Every structure is written in C-alpha cells, then in structure tokens.
Amino acid sequence: MKKFSSVCLIGILVSMVMVSSAVAGGEWFRNYADGLKAMKAQNYESAAELFRSALKGNPKDKKKVRTYGMHFIEYFPHRELGICLYYLGDNSEALRHLQISMEQEPSPRARDFLRQLGGNVPPPKREKKVVKKQPRIEPEKKSSGDTDMIVGKKTIKLVGERMGVAVFPFENKGASRDLGDIVLDKMITVLVNNERFRVLERAQLNKVLEEQSLGVSGVLDAATAAQIGKGIGVDAIIIGSVAAAVSGAISVDARVIDTESAAIIVAQDAYSGSADAQSVKNTVENLARKITESLPLVEGFVIRIDGDRYILDAGRIAGLKKGMKCIVYKEGAVIKHPITGEVLGKETKIMGELLVTNAYDKFSEAKILESQGGLISMGDKFLTK
C-alpha cells in the first residue's frame, strides 16, 4: 500500500511539473502572438514590450516551436523586436536583435531589414542535400507575359499592370502630314516593343478623338489631352511636335503628361539632319529610349505613414519623379515547382496604388489613389507602374 502511494505521489508531482511548464510556455506564446497583433496595428511600442516579455520565457528564435495539441508555430521574437525598434528609430538596438535572430535561426525577413540598417548580412547556410536522379526537364522559354523584367543587372518582379500611355498625334510645325504620321506610328511601335508601357492602339485613340470632334491634327492643349487620357483609362499621354527645316533636318519634341494632374512628368527631344526613312526611324527610337529611361521601373519599401502621406525609400537618384504612380503590394508564401523544387516566385497581394507628390534625392512623398487589398502599412513593397 505504501509503495502504491509513493508511485501515485510521483505521478502527481510529474503532472504538476508538466502543467506548470505548459502554463509558462503558454504565457510566452501569448505574449508573442499579442505582439504580432500589436505590430500589425502599427502599435510598435506595445509590440516591443510584448516581444521582450516573450523573450524572458523563451529567449531563442526558432523556426518552429511545438505548442499544445502537437501544433507547430514559427517563433522569431528577436527578429520581430528588431523590426519594431527599427520603426521606433532605435537603429542600434534593432541591429543587435536582428543579428541575434540571424545567428540563432536565419530568415529572409531578418536579412531584408538587416540590409536596410546596413548591418553585416551572413550568407545563407548551405544545407547538404541528397541528390536524386530526376528525369531532365527542359526549362520553358520565357514569353512576354512573364512576371520578371531584367533592368540593367537587376531582375525586377513585375506586379500589377504597367503604366498605360496613349500617344496623341504630333503637331506638324513645317513638316508634312506624312512625316507626322510616320513619327507617330514609329513612336507607338518602339514603345510597344520596349515592353515598358501598356500602349493604347492608335485606332482606338483616333476613334475617341473623332467621336469628340477633335480631329487628329495633334493641335490639342495639354489639359484637354490629359482629360481625354483619363477618360480612356491611361495613366499618361504623350503629346509632341515634329518640326522640319528648309535644309531637310527634323526635330521631334515629346512630353509625357500625367492624366490625374495634367502635369508634365517628362519632356524629351531628338534631332536628325535628314528626313529620310532610316534617319526618322533612328530619331524616333532615340526619343522613345529617352522617354523609357526617364520613367524607370523602381522598387522599394513604404517606410513611414503620416496620415494620408506615405514615405517611400527611393527618390530622384533612383529615378522616381513627381507624377509617377506606384503599385503597393505584400509578398506571401514561396511558390515551388512540385517536381523540380525550383522556387518560381512568391504569392503577391496588391494593396493599392500611390501617386508620387514630391521626390527628393533619396526618398519620396506619395498619396493614395486607390486601395484594393486593405490598409497599406509600413514595410509593404512598391513598384512603379
């Protein structure tokens, strides 16, 4: 009987220890989960305190932690605390916690914020893999519908629609009607082939102009042209002129005008000493290239929100200009090929569209034009249209 009582007593004590451990584990997990909620609501001070409390109960970052019911959750208190401190302006402490997180359990999210803080980013750990022989699968050829574009030495993920433009008939200044038509057609062709813009077909534009009894002479003021462009659903319109000299030389001027504000975003010109077909083609290609380079694809992050004012971490040096529009999005889970295991990309959720209102050297101010997927928050990514 005494032996039986001792066994029971030991069992009760073990159960008490297990319950105590579960309660302690639940406390740090609840603090961590509440911290994530506070962080999502951009209440970074409260979130930081909750992550500190979680660290007291379970101080190490772990990719997966077992909780009640044999479930697993991701647990990165050092990383999330570091990100909170980054938004609170405490860069030194943010850097320290992000580095601890990377040392304990590397993650892409910690690596991204470490780069923004200028910290040392350790290379990804190489894992030993058992390579199994698989049947060779030839890579598919990329088409114009792919979601990546190579810009310089950088591959940029394309999100949402590209910037929509309509090229209006160019005004003739001493040039023949035929020359103006040739310049217009070549401009549209070159812009389409560059694949930078979504270009409205000339026939569609001519139909709209004829319906409004505006003709196709190219003599339209910027405000009227911008209003028409907004009505047909493009982001910008291109208007310009073709001038011919007695010597046979020609000059072509073009302006890109925002349809929201009728403000000029870009103004470029090109010159040719001859009006022969090849010279005109080269001149228009040069002009289209200047326009494309003046409106580059720029990507970055939303780094601050003050009411209806959004701060982006790129400015004039990166190519952002007043009047440019940006798609704001969040990245989700990684998409892998089920057979080869190749990472194909990430799930993307578009949050809305911003209009750049002021561009400085290294940052820009923007306002919201359209909200699609919910509230835009700090840390969301953006890409120019």
Q: Is residue 122 part of a domain?
A: no
9 within some domain: no
Check whether 129 has a pLDDT greater than 80: no
Assess if residue 138 is contained within a domain.
no
Encoded tokens for 373: 């997927």
Any idea what the CATH number is for the domain that residue 334 is in? 2.40.10.410
* pLDDT value at residue 263: 87
As to burial, measured by CB atoms within 10 angstroms (0-12 exposed, 13-18 middle, 19+ buried), residue 94 is: buried
Boundary (domain end) residue, out of 273, 294, 315: 294
Both 361 and 304 in one domain: the answer is: yes
Is 119 or 169 the better-scoring residue by pLDDT?
169
pLDDT at 334: 87
On whether residue 347 sits in a domain, the answer given is: yes
Answer whether 272's CB lies under 8 Å from 250's CB: yes
Q: Model confidence at 304, in pLDDT bands (50, 70, 90)?
A: very high
Same domain, 230 and 327: no
pLDDT at position 367: 95
Percentage of the chain lying above the pLDDT 70 cut: 78
pLDDT over 90 (residue 12): no
- 177 and 273 part of one domain: yes
Determine, yes or no, domain membership for 208: yes
Both 316 and 246 in one domain: the answer is no
Residues 233, 249: one domain? yes
Together in a domain, 111 and 78: yes
pLDDT value, residue 384: 93
Do 283 and 342 lie in one domain? The reply is no
266 with 252, same domain?
yes
Quick one: 90 and 184 in the same domain?
no
Identify the pLDDT of residue 195: 84
Q: Name which of 310, 342, 337 is nearest 326 in CA terms.
A: 310
Q: Does residue 361 register a pLDDT over 70?
A: yes
CATH number at residue 61: 1.25.40.10
- Residue ranges of alpha helices (H) inside 61-146 are 77-88, 91-104, 108-117
Out of 99-103, 211-215, 232-236, 368-372, pick the least confident. 211-215
Q: In the predicted model, is pLDDT for residue 130 greater than 60?
A: no
- 3-state SS class at 375: coil
One domain, residues 178 and 236 = yes
pLDDT of residue 40: 84
pLDDT of 187: 92
Residue 132 maps to a domain: no
Which amino acid, residue 123?
A: P
Residue 128 falls within a domain, yes or no?
A: no
> For position 249, which CATH number holds?
3.40.50.10070
Whether 358 shows a pLDDT value over 80: the answer reads yes
pLDDT tens per residue across span 34-73:
999 888 888 889 999 999 998 998 888 877 665 544 455 6
Last residue within a domain, chosen from 263, 294, 325:
294
Same domain, 269 and 306: no
CA torsion through residues 191, 195, 197, 202, sign = positive
Mention every residue, 6+ apart, whose C-beta is less than 8 A from residue 173: 241, 242, 243, 244
User: Is position 237 within any domain?
Assistant: yes
How far is the CA of 130 from the CAs of 18, 125, 126, in angstroms?
39, 16, 13
Residues 207 and 196 in one domain: yes
pLDDT of 211 over the 80 cut: no
pLDDT in tens, 169-197: 888 887 777 787 888 889 999 999 888 89
Instruction: Please check whether residue 110 is in contact with residue 98, taking contact to mean a CB–CB distance below 8 angstroms.
Output: yes
Find the helix or strand (DSSP H, E) in which 191 lies: helix 177-194
75 by DSSP, 3-state: which?
strand
Q: Domain range holding 80? A: 16-117
Percentage of the chain with pLDDT > 90?
A: 34
Name the domain count of the chain: 3
For the entire predicted model, the pTM comes to 0.55
pLDDT tens for each residue of 238-295: 998 898 887 888 999 999 999 888 889 999 999 988 888 888 889 999 999 999 999 9
